[in-house]
């Protein structure tokens, strides 16, 4: 896609690119159920991290992991849109492209769960032991 307004240059053009990115994010939030699910889970994970006083470095790892999953979900959505734009007919390569993009999200999500378990396991056990022994 070619930049339509050649008069906009420099910083103004730079800030316009953020506007397009935000529009893309809003569109994905409105049209893609999986992104909304990922964001809801991420919100819960972040709240739990603060309630359980997870150390800063581990919170940072959680934020990076969440960002990776959301970014891959957005890329998956982009691949699906491009494939749908190119062909409406069934084609094995189109299916493979969509499946591989979805697999990237699946792998990232599985890794996010593993990371979450490793980070939350001890604090959750300690919290429940404290609650039960009171």
130 is catalytic: no
- Residues near 104 by beta carbon (within 8 Å), at least 6 away in sequence: 72, 75, 76
- Asked if 65 and 111 count as a contact pair (C-beta separation under 8 A), the reply is yes
Q: In sequence order, what DSSP letters do the residues of 83-116 get, joined into one string? A: HHHH-SS--HHHHHHHHHHHHHHHHHHHHHHHHH
- Among the listed residues 32, 73, 80, 130, the single catalytic one is 73
- Give catalytic residue positions: 73
């Amino acid at each position: 896609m070619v930049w339509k307004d050649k008069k906009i240059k420099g910083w103004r053009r730079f800030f316009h690119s953020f506007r397009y990115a935000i529009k893309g994010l809003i569109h994905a939030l409105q049209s893609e159920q999986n992104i909304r699910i990922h964001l809801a889970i991420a919100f819960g994970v972040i709240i739990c991290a603060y309630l359980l006083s997870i150390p800063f470095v581990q919170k940072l790892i959680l934020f990076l992991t969440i960002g990776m999953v959301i970014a891959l979900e957005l890329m998956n959505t982009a691949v699906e849109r491009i494939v749908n734009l190119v062909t409406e007919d069934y084609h094995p390569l189109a299916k493979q492209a969509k499946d591989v993009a979805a697999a990237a999200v699946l792998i990232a999500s599985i890794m996010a769960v593993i990371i979450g378990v490793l980070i939350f396991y001890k604090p959750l056990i300690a919290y429940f032991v404290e609650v039960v022994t009171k």
